[in-house]
C-alpha cells in the first residue's frame, strides 16, 4: 500500500511538473503577443486647454482639395463683380462665406487671396484700421 501511496504522490508531482512546463512553454508566446500590442513610444500629450484628438477608425481621410463646384464658382464670380463695382462690403461678405464655409475648396483659397488684396489696398490707401481689421480676421 505504501508503494501505491508513493506512486500516487509521484504521479501528482509529475502532473504538477508537466503543468508547470506547459505554462512556461506557453508564457513566451503570450509575452510576445502582449509586447506586440504595446506601443513603442507614448503618445504626446495635447497642449493644456486643447481638446484631445478623437480617432475615428471608420472615417476615410478627406480629399486634399475638393473639385470646384459650379455654385462656388458662381459665388466667387459674383463677389468679383461686386468688387469691380466698388461694392466692397458685399464682395467681402461673399469672400468670407466662401473662405469659412467651404474651406479646402479652390474657390475658398481664391476668396482668401481676394481678401488679402482688399486688406493690402486699405493699407496702401492709408486706411490702417480697415487693413488691420481684415488681416486679424484672416488669421
Encode the chain (139 residues) as per-residue pLDDT tens digits. Answer: 545 444 445 455 555 554 445 444 444 443 444 444 444 444 444 455 555 555 454 555 555 555 557 999 999 999 999 999 999 999 999 999 999 999 999 999 999 999 999 999 999 999 999 999 999 999 9
- Under 8 Å between Cβ of 131 and 122: yes
What share of residues in the chain are helix, strand, coil (percent, to 5)?
A: 70, 0, 30
pTM for the structure as a whole: 0.52
Give the three cell numbers for residue 67: 473639385
Instruction: Report the C-alpha gap between 118 and 99 in whole angstroms.
Output: 14
Cα dihedral across residues 16, 21, 22, 23: positive or negative: positive
Amino acid at each position: 500500500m505504501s508503494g501505491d501511496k508513493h506512486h500516487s504522490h509521484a504521479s501528482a508531482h509529475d502532473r504538477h511538473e508537466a503543468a508547470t512546463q506547459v505554462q512556461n512553454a506557453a508564457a513566451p508566446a503570450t509575452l510576445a503577443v502582449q509586447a506586440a500590442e504595446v506601443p513603442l513610444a507614448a503618445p504626446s500629450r495635447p497642449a493644456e486647454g486643447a481638446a484631445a484628438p478623437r480617432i475615428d477608425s471608420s472615417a476615410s481621410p478627406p480629399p486634399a482639395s475638393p473639385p470646384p463646384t459650379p455654385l462656388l464658382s458662381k459665388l466667387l464670380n459674383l463677389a468679383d463683380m461686386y468688387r469691380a463695382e466698388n461694392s466692397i462690403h458685399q464682395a467681402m461678405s461673399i469672400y468670407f462665406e466662401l473662405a469659412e464655409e467651404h474651406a479646402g475648396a479652390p474657390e475658398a483659397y481664391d476668396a482668401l487671396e481676394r481678401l488679402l488684396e482688399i486688406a493690402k489696398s486699405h493699407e496702401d490707401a492709408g486706411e490702417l484700421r480697415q487693413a488691420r481689421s481684415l488681416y486679424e480676421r484672416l488669421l
